[in-house]
Structure 1
Amino acid sequence: MPAPGDETAPAARPAPADGPIQWAGYDNARAVASLRTGEDESVVYGTASIGGRPCVLVAFEFGFLGGSLGRAAGDRLVAAYRAAAERRIPLVSLVATGGSRMQEGMVALMQLQRVAAETVRLREAGVAHVAVLRDPATGGGWATVGAGADVVLALPSAQVAFAGSRVRPPDADPAAYTAEDQYAHGHVDAVVRPEELRDTLALWLRLLSAPADGPGAGRPAPAPPPPAFAGPAGGGEPGTGWEAVLRARDTARPRSGAYLDAYFEVRATVHGDRAGGADPGVECGFGVHEGRVVAYAAQDGGATRPAGFRTAARLIRLADRLGVPVLTLVDTPGAANDAVAERAGAGPAIADAFAAIAAARVPVTTLLIGEGGSGGALALAAPGNTWATSDSYFSVIAPELAAAILKRPPAEVPTTADQLHIRPQDLVELGIVRGIVPRGT
């Protein structure tokens, strides 16, 4: 038989009786499956149009030997990935599989390596992949085609797991193997009802199909003007550092959601860090602004957790591969520093966010909309292209913590805030931000 890396076309490689390991009755099982489903393999693919956007569509037929992956199915997956890369149109995979096909032994399992290689090639080509997890999506099909996609959608109550129902520990929590639980732990971007799937896919194809060399490519995304807000000083720049802090902490101040709603005509979120976590205080995704696709990562005023930094880094790297400019909205008192956050890798997650922005080839624009607390805020700020609102501050450390470290009494916190030079106008003078964005009307 061919070497594992041989990509000879299926027609040039005649199949031996009962498959590569001569599993007795395999040919008959395939014939029965074909009669039942009308298909000759567990995977079919072709071109399609969803919402007027072209794509390469892959569908698993679970009725054909449990949608399992064998050599012929692997050939079709390779062909589908390559067609998407060559035509530079997104790949959409409708996954329903129990895993690798036992009747082909290790030959079946090695299809996972082939899919992984094509995933890398698709990413290098700057082509997006959206996977839809049907019931079930388990084993190697989930761990390669499904989890390897850029955007992962799942149908409600679908079984989503690496371990199939017959091989799990007998005392395993059944909830851990559901689409909803995978979403809660940051492995799935959205759980979508069947009647909403077509429109959801159409939106994602619109957001992910923007050509890297199309109109506006290479231009930074304009920072959104702040929504109208009459702060403590009624507008204008804060007079003192402490006033800047109080204005940034004002609960009536517009948060990131108000900015995103005003800025984007439509948007869809990228959810979770793909490492077991999701931070509700950081929203990431893609949206359309004045006809142009822009990626965004927005802090919402709370302490950012490790999953939030990792999700933002994931978003920035995806946007960079697709040639989409990035907008970040910075608003956090700092990174979460409780024991749970430390054990979840706060330091490595912050480092990853810094690295993602530093490595980005697409323009990244940042608007500081509230608190800018230390490295937890700076990690999402674009060097040389950060702007501030008049209701914001940026500081190496919170004034209260600085006073405590210096053993100053609480009454000296405002003075300490002034000494830190954290007002928006101070940041402009220091060259930290490019300018102050006026409020909207």
Structure 2
Amino acid sequence: MRSGREPARAVIDLVASGFAELPDDSSPSTVDGPLGWHGYDLAVAQASERTGERESVVCGVAEIGGVTAVVVAFEFGFLGGSLGTRTGARIEQAFTHARELRLPVVSLVATGGSRMQEGTPALMQLPRIARQIALTRGAGLPHVAVLRDPTTGGGWATLGAGADVVLGLRGAQVGFAGSRVRPPGYSVTQQFAAGLVDQLVPPDELRDRLERWLKLLTTPAGEPAPVPRALGAKTVPETGWDAVLRARAPSRPRAEEYLAAYFDWHEPINGDRAGGVDAGVLCGFGHRDGRTVAYAAQRGTATRPAGFRTAARLVKLADRLGIPVLTLVDTPGAANDAAAEKAGIGAAIAEMFTAIAATRVPVTTLLIGEGGSGGALAFAAPDRMWATPDSYLAVISPELAAAILKRDPSQVRATADQLRLRPQDLVELGIAAGVAELDQAPEHATDQATTR
């Protein structure tokens, strides 16, 4: 497989088995289409003869890695995979079928956009498709899109960018404007860098990646995420300043190590869907003991607006799919430079606070390092938070607290003690449920949360 212009059925055969096509319930077009475009019927007939298809999409039900899914595959050889009125009808039928059978949807997109020969009636298929996506979201069913070459126009702005998880085949042209409208075409790599694509996938790895994603999105855990074991220090710090130094130590275990120890395997999502990526925040879904847990983890850097928005996107998606969430808190605080303010850091923090406050699935939090003010607390579940022995949580850093109080720099250590930021202080204050390694075994996490 190259980057995606293979026939629709060849792509389906590559990623799925047992494909059963849905019956075509769409009505035939009027003579030369809704606009009476001279020669349109002939063009459709020639496209059909060339591809063996009656329209630019092939829809049906198939097995992907043991998960039954509805598949919508574009046939680029049929008038450039363009969206016409019958295309919209077929896609609507496929999504309706998915909701009736409670099945996930996989869109294998390769399209040049709306069909010129059908004019505005073709363009009106976009809100029709968007409604089907919205109804399927509301039904709590996942939608995974694969961006083949090319994915442009309305196909990108609905089935592509509107999916829950977006996988892009390396080498594909992806953008709202195609190469004939605004050359050169925008690449999938650029879309990934802008946080609009979750993963770049080599074509020969597509089947494995789809199998992993469908397994993750359809096997939610039936209980709260267990609390991870602490990986660093085994005893609590003696003083507040000791807690700060431990949390800032370069050798302390970080989010990557916690995720590797916690999950059998996991898949990341990328970006805030608004043009931003924060490398200091890791988000995705992981497989643990046969079930799925979503995760949002800070990596010890100042969290930027894109990091909060990506994490909020993860929490909202997990909530819709009934998947419990694990958050790992580790940041000196939210980014507060001019670029962060311009990008809406306050609104981004508010979005993350609201996402956790509104979620119906349980959120489990482990404080694994620095916990600096609201930038840390936005990632935390206030009723299910644990701390490791090498962590702290404070209203502000001891240095800044001393400065605000107009204290001599020599008073920073004493200020750290007064802030009561140590993990054991957090337990005594009723903020944390426990210190992870000392009194918390993963299998007892739920009991600890209810009896604090």
TM-score normalised to structure 1 length: 0.92
8 Å contact from structure 2 (residues 71, 106) kept in 1: yes
Name 1:293's counterpart in structure 2: 292
Superposition pairs of residues 203-352 of structure 1, within 5 angstroms: 203-210=212-219, 216-217=221-222, 219-227=223-231, 229-230=232-233, 235-352=234-351
1:157 alignment partner, one of 150, 162, 171: 171
Per-residue deviation at 1:394? Answer: 0.3
For 2:36 and 2:419, locate their aligned partners in 1 and report how far apart those are by CA, in whole Å: 75
- The number of residues matched between the two structures is 418
Runs of 4+ in 1 over 6 A off after TM superposition: none
Q: CA deviation at 1:85?
A: 1.5
Deviation at 1:345, TM superposition (A): 1.1
> 1-side partners of 2:281 and 2:422: how far apart?
24
Letter in 2 for 1:196: E
Structure-2 residue corresponding to 1:399: 398
SS in 2 for 1:393: coil
Output the amino acid matched with 2:158: T
Aligned to 1:29: 43
Pair 84,304 (structure 1): closer, same or farther in 2 beyond 3 Å:
same
Query: What is residue 143 of structure 2 aligned with on the other side?
Result: 129
Q: What do residues 32-67 of structure 1 show as CA deviations (whole Å, max 9, x unaligned)?
A: 111111111001110111112111111001111110
Q: Which amino acid aligns with 1:417?
A: A
Following the alignment from structure 1 to structure 2, what is the Cα–Cα distance between the partners of residues 395 and 387? 14
Opposite residue 187 of structure 1, the aligned amino acid is: L
Structure 1 runs not aligned, ≥5 long: 1-8
- Give a deviation string over 1:82-104, Cα, whole Å, max 9, x none: 11122112100100000001111
Structure 2: which amino acid aligns with 1:309? F
| 1:237-266 Cα distance to aligned partner (Å, 9 max, x none) | 111111110011111110011110001001
SS in 2 for 1:261: helix
Aligned-partner residue type, residue 292 of structure 1: R
Equivalent runs, 1:422-433 vs 2, <5 Å: 422-433=421-432
Q: 2: CA distance between counterparts of 1:62 and 1:15?
A: 20
Deviations 1:381-402 (A, max 9, x none): 0021111011100001111111
SS in structure 1 of the partner of residue 113 of structure 2? coil
User: Is residue 118 from structure 1 mapped to residue 135 from structure 2 by the alignment?
Assistant: no
**What amino acid is the match of 1:224?**
P
Instruction: Report the alpha carbon displacement of residue 409 of structure 1 after superposing the two structures with TM.
Output: 2.1
- Give the secondary-structure state (helix, strand or coil) at the position aligned to 1:177: coil
1:209 Cα deviation (Å)? 1.1
Percent of pairs with identical residues:
66
1:115 and 1:400 mapped to 2: Cα distance? 54
What's the counterpart of residue 3 of structure 1?
none
Whether the aligned pair in 1 keeps the contact of 2:243 and 2:422 (CA below 8 Å) is: yes
Residue 448 of structure 2 is matched in structure 1 by: none
- For 2:143, give the aligned amino acid: H
RMSD over aligned Cα atoms: 1.6
Aligned residue for 1:438, secondary structure, equals helix
Match of 1:325, as an amino acid? P
Asked if residue 191 in structure 1 is aligned to residue 191 in structure 2, the reply is no
Q: Is residue 387–residue 436 contact of structure 1 (8 Å, CA) maintained in 2?
A: yes
Deviation by residue 1:84-143 (Cα, 9 ceiling, x = unmatched): 122112100100000001111111001000111011110011100000000000000000
How far apart in 1 are the matches of 2:389 and 2:30?
73
Q: Is the 8 A contact 2:353 2:379 kept in 1?
A: yes
Q: Distance in 2 between matches of 1:136 and 1:41?
A: 17
The amino acid of 1:126's aligned partner reads G
Tell me, in whole angstroms, the C-alpha distance in 1 between the residues paired with 2:300 and 2:227: 18
Distance in 2 (alpha carbons) for counterparts of 1:333 and 1:82: 47
* Aligned counterpart for 2:157 among listed residues 98, 118, 143: 143
CA distance in 1, matches of 2:209, 2:161: 18
Task: Tell me how far 1:14 sits from its aligned partner.
Answer: 4.6
Answer yes or no: is the 8 Å Cα contact 2:25–2:90 preserved in 1: no
**TM norm structure 2:** 0.90
CA distance in 2, matches of 1:14, 1:88: 29
Residues 19 and 10 (structure 1), Cα distance of their counterparts in 2 relative to 1, 3 Å cut: farther
Q: Is the 8 A contact 2:26 2:90 kept in 1?
A: no
Contact 1:69 1:101 in 2 (8 A): yes
CA distance in 1, matches of 2:411, 2:386: 29
Q: Matches of 1:10 and 1:259 in 2, distance apart?
A: 49
Q: Which amino acid aligns with 1:371?
A: E
Instruction: Give the whole-Å Cα distance in 2 for the aligned partners of 1:299 and 1:86.
Output: 39
Preserved contact between residue 294 and residue 325 of structure 1 (Cα < 8 Å) = yes
Tell me which residue corresponds to 2:435.
436
Corresponding letter in the other structure for 1:149: A
The offset of 1:15, in angstroms, is 2.3
1:386–1:433 contact (8 Å) kept in structure 2? yes
Where 2:393 maps in the other structure, the secondary structure is strand
For residues 288 and 263 of structure 1, the distance between their equivalents in structure 2, rounded to whole angstroms, comes to 9
Report whether the alignment pairs 1:54 with 2:68: yes
Indicate yes or no: 2:211 matched with 1:202.
yes
The answer to whether the Cα contact below 8 Å between 1:56 and 1:84 also exists between their aligned partners in 2 is yes
- What CA deviation, in whole Å up to 9, does each residue of 1:332-380 have, x standing for no partner? 0001111111111111110000010001000000000010000000001
3-state SS, counterpart of residue 133 of structure 1: strand
2:67 is aligned with 1:63:
no
Amino acid at match of 1:225: R
